[in-house]
Amino acid sequence: MDYFNDRRVVMTLDAGGTNFVFSAIQGNEEIIEPVALPSYGNDLDKCLKTIVNGFKEVKSQLKTKPIAISFAFPGPADYPRGVIGDLINLPGFRGGIALGPMLEEKFSLPVFINNDGNLFGYGEAIAGYLPFINNLLKESGSPKRYKNLIGLTLGTGFGASIVHDGKLIIGDNSSAGEAWLLRSKIYPTMNAEEGVSIRAIHRFYISETGIDVDEVPTPKEIYEIALGRLDGNKEAALEAYRKMGEALGEAIANIVTLIDGIVVIGGGISGAYSLFLPEVVKEMNSQFILFDGSRIPRLVVKTFNLEDEEELRRFINGDSKEITVPGSDRKMNYDPLSRIGIGISKIGTSKATGIGAYAFALSALDG
């Protein structure tokens, strides 16, 4: 799918609990200055009027008639039918709100809705990390290519998406990729998000320092403390991110056991990857200890930290060698190293999500 040269225009929306940001995309690029409006999440009527007015403002700025509306919106939701369920961050939505059908009637355009985690991963698979890695493999002469991508967003929550061979896996109940509901390694009675989120970093730092919850620094400040750039408990800050990396590594290990592919991370916490990504990879490359004391690898594949220059080189080079086809003189390349890699978004979470929304609409229309 080459949407970089596509001249069709899609209107988009990034829906947050506080603000709605409206825009339009053509050829995988934003073509207007985004329009930001308050969400009025507690008042359904105001919220719906804001959404309509936001898209009207975007449409008024376009020189080309849009062919669809496509945007990220929180769940739970019946995304294929455009029905939004009971939302936490937008409490005005209760009992099932047919947002998609409403917008279709208002604008006489097809409307596509999905969650931001799904659209982030889709954008990364189309124009982000997956083509980046495959281009490096191609340039190196490696026969290896990747078709699967797991996109993860780390922030207020823990989101995930699965893309297979250019197709976003949504699931029969719009519930594929609900990684936040995996079991937490750190808190076994809780879900994974309690160890992989902003509040998890806060909790880990508090447990190491004993400070009051009202005094806990932001994750960015804890990151700066860990690097020695701000005053604070450096050891506690390092341990907070190490624990999050351990929890995240266990969650990703469970995901890639079933979905074998490249992993890309985005979201607000991803900027601190130097503190948690080595621990993620360490956890994924760990071992199970069996009853007789013997050990087996945690995963069939070896995991590489693609943000580390030496590990990226090793990942790209693999163990490629030339072998001869039995009974002939024909030779072929063979790479026996089964491997996956984890990296940080290079195009940014917001851009990847926008590209995902754009491509999601066009692929549905073309399909």
Determine the residue type at 60. S
Full DSSP string of 34-96: -EEEE--TT-HHHHHHHHHHHHHHHHHH-SS---EEEEE--SSEEGGGTEE---SSSTT--S-
- State the average pLDDT for the chain: 94
3-state secondary structure of 230: coil
Amino acid at site 316: I
**Residue 32 DSSP label:** S
Alpha helices in the chain, H assignment, sequence order: 44-61, 99-107, 116-127, 129-140, 198-209, 219-226, 234-258, 273-284, 309-317, 349-366
Find out whether 112 and 360 touch, Cβ atoms under 8 Å: yes
> Does the pLDDT of residue 237 top 90, yes or no?
yes
Task: Indicate the pLDDT class of residue 202, thresholds 50, 70 and 90.
Answer: very high
Please say whether the beta carbons of 35 and 323 come within 8 A: no
Report pLDDT digits (tens) over 146-162.
999 999 999 988 999 99
Q: How confident is the model at residue 77 (pLDDT cuts 50, 70, 90)?
A: confident
Domains and CATH numbers, the chain: 9-115 (3.30.420.40), 129-346 (3.30.420.40)
Identify the burial level of 63 via C-beta atoms within 10 angstroms of its C-beta, where 0-12 means exposed, 13-18 middle and 19 or more buried.
exposed
- Residues sharing a CB contact under 8 Å with residue 241, sequence separation 6 or more, in sequence order: 201, 204, 222, 223, 226, 272, 275, 276, 279
Q: What pairing do the DSSP bridges indicate for beta strands 111-114 and 148-154?
A: unpaired
Is the pLDDT at 18 greater than 70? The verdict is yes
Going by pLDDT thresholds of 50, 70 and 90, the confidence category of residue 341 is very high
Residue 212, pLDDT above cutoff 90: yes
- Does 332 or 67 have the greater pLDDT score? 67
The pLDDT score that the predictor gives to residue 313 is 97
Contact 44, 87 (CB under 8 A): no
Tokens 């400040």 identify what position? 221
| Rounded Cα–Cα distance for residues 151 and 148 (Å) | 10
* Structural tokens at position 189: 């009675």
